[in-house]
Amino acid sequence: MGVGAKYGSGEDGDYFLRALKFSPLIYLKSLYTFHPSPKDTYSKISMNSMLVRFSNYGKGAIFLCFKHKMYFRAVKFILRALVGFVISILKLDIRIALAYLYAFFIRLRTFIILVLKANC
């Protein structure tokens, strides 16, 4: 899991879920993470780069869900890509809509592959 790995995301979530087994969550209001707006981020990269990002993120997130037996969350994550597609179409943001549609199929494919591996 992580950058350059087969499942290109999820390492932070994996660490978080494993850490929760050893200690309860302590919420600090003063600690936060800043993520740039997707609109700003994706407008500055090529379509190919965006598809690679969506693919890596989707594979990693689905794998993370399977690793921690969070199957319903994986299904919700797949459906979120479809919702992102619809919302982007309604906003007439075709570029992002296509990326979300691509992400939906990548996530669904990863889900099916992992289900088949689990049943073998």
- Domain definitions of the chain by residue range: 11-119
* pTM for the full predicted model: 0.79
Task: Summarize the confidence of residues 52-70 as an average pLDDT.
Answer: 90
**Structure confidence by residue, pLDDT tens digits, 72-86:** 999 999 999 999 999
CA distance 12 to 4: 14
Q: Which amino acid is at 78?
A: I
Question: Per residue in 7-33, pLDDT tens?
Answer: 667 677 777 777 778 888 777 888 777
Among left, alpha and beta (phi > 0; psi -120 to 50; other), residue 23 is: beta
